[in-house]
Amino acid sequence: MKFSISETIIVFGIFQAIVLSIALLFKKENRQANQFLALLCFCMGYSNFIYIVVQFRLFDRFFWLHLLPYGLAFVIGPSFYFYIRSLTSPSFKFQRKHWPHFYLIAIDYIHSVYHLIVGRIPPPSQIQLHAVIDELSNLGSFSLIFYIVLSWRLLKKHQEDLPQQLSYTDQMALQWLRKFVVAMTVIVAIASLYSLAKVIFDFYSREAYFYRFLPVVIISWLGLLGLQQKQAQVDIDISPNETPKLATSVSASPQLNEHIAQLKQVLEQEKLYLNPELSLRILQDKTQLTAKEISTALNQGLQKNFYLFVNEYRVEEAKRRLLDPNLGHLTIFGIATEAGFKSKATFNRLFKSITGLTPKQYREQEITPQ
């Protein structure tokens, strides 16, 4: 068996998918998310494995290969979606009710079972039936579109929930996941067009290497970045209800005022805002209020989200420290860090939006004698 350069790259991608899948399975952090990512990498490598099997007529030499599905396209979509859901929702647990998403793998097996029964080459009387079965397998590419849409909606919801649950957003925007979804969208578009061309124009090219190279590149990028990715702390499944909307005017109830006073008291007395990792979950534990009660108090009582509420305290702390002569040896970013900020850009942006001045201008204006 002799491989061309192109086929060698494809075979390399197959082994790469296996190695990365195993590495992801053994990673302790983000265990559930990495299980789905491992499955995704394996499925993408498997599609190239079947390509090599067909290319070198291995089905004729090893008939037992017909026991394997002709592809795992119907598994790629759910794996992709549940990976993103697991990573962005720490409380999400994959349960029995989610299994139906993977049942369509039976369609991939129909093709295999057909050849297992009738042999590698279908008899003339069944050519039409074989064509229908072959086209059913092509639906896997189109099923991915459904999961791409679900994933985009998931990321959009996650992005909207960041300011409601975190006091920082710089590292939690999961920009690489967005790029990943874009990359998968491109692959799905190419795969769908390729499948459509086969169905409409009876087109099939064994030399469509570009279509085969994409998974090799994506697996490398996805697997390596996936191994480095940390768990998101924003939980989009924290409540089945919609986050309370910001109110322009509201008649505060006694209970609402009580919750606001409790939040301010805990934040000010314990100076929780100095913790750069402060989140809604931490404030829940400190106040014993539910996520919905905190969000309602902030959104409807103060017309602020959690992000702005906490960072206003940090800006006030930074203002005090900027004018402290004992802290004159610190840089402005050093002061920002001590006030609870993680990012210089975020500190400068919020400081100016709240005070109307940059930190440097504020310090010079307050210190310079009038």
User: Distance between CA 41 and CA 24 in Å, rounded?
Assistant: 10
Amino acid at 315: V
Rounded to a whole number of angstroms, the distance between the first and last alpha carbons of the chain is 86
What count of Cα atoms within 13 Å lies in the side-chain half-sphere of residue 320? 8
Instruction: Establish whether domains 5-228 and 254-367 are of one fold.
Output: no
How large is the average pLDDT for residues 34-51? 89
Backbone angles phi, psi at 116, to 5 degrees: -65, -30
Instruction: Tell me the fold of 254-367.
Output: Arc Repressor Mutant, subunit A (1.10.10)
User: Distance between CA 140 and CA 137 in Å, rounded?
Assistant: 6
Higher-confidence position of 22 and 253: 22
Count Cβ atoms within 10 A of the Cβ of residue 69 and give its class: 0-12 exposed, 13-18 middle, 19 or more buried.
buried
Three-class secondary structure of residue 279 per DSSP: strand
Higher-confidence position of 112 and 351: 351
What's the pLDDT at 208?
56
Residue 125 pLDDT > 60, yes or no? yes
- Name the β-bridge partners of 166: 279
Q: How far apart, in Å, are the Cα atoms of 340 and each of 30, 165, 318, 347?
A: 26, 16, 9, 9
Given pLDDT bands bounded at 50, 70 and 90, which one contains residue 192? Answer: confident
Higher-confidence position of 263 and 88: 263
How large is the average pLDDT for residues 2-15? 82
DSSP 123: P
User: Distance between CA 18 and CA 39 in Å, rounded?
Assistant: 10
Three-class secondary structure of residue 69 per DSSP: coil
Higher-confidence position of 21 and 136: 21
What's the pLDDT at 241?
46
Most confident range (mean pLDDT) of 50-64, 205-219, 279-293 is: 279-293
Given pLDDT bands bounded at 50, 70 and 90, which one contains residue 328? Answer: confident
How large is the average pLDDT for residues 164-189? 77
Mean pLDDT of the chain: 82
What's the pLDDT at 204?
54
Residue 246 pLDDT > 60, yes or no? no
Given pLDDT bands bounded at 50, 70 and 90, which one contains residue 232? Answer: low
What's the pLDDT at 135?
72
Q: Where are the domains of the chain?
A: 5-228, 254-367
Structure tokens at 165: 């649950």
284-321 pLDDT, tens per residue? 999 999 988 999 999 988 999 999 999 999 999 999 99
Whether CATH 1.25.40 fits 5-228: no
Rg for the chain, CA atoms, rounded: 27
Phi/psi-derived region of residue 246, left when phi > 0, alpha when psi is between -120 and 50, beta in every other case: beta
Percent of the chain's residues with pLDDT above 70: 85
What's the pLDDT at 144?
87
Most confident range (mean pLDDT) of 192-201, 226-235, 241-250, 331-340 is: 331-340
Three-class secondary structure of residue 166 per DSSP: strand
Higher-confidence position of 153 and 57: 153
Residue 164 pLDDT > 80, yes or no? yes
Structure tokens at 145: 């579109």
How large is the average pLDDT for residues 111-120? 77
What's the pLDDT at 238?
45
Nearest to 42 by CA among 232, 226, 231, 229: 226
Residue 100 pLDDT > 90, yes or no? yes
Nearest to 297 by CA among 280, 314, 285, 312: 280
Strands (E), the chain: none
Tokens 């009876």 locate to 202
What's the pLDDT at 239?
46
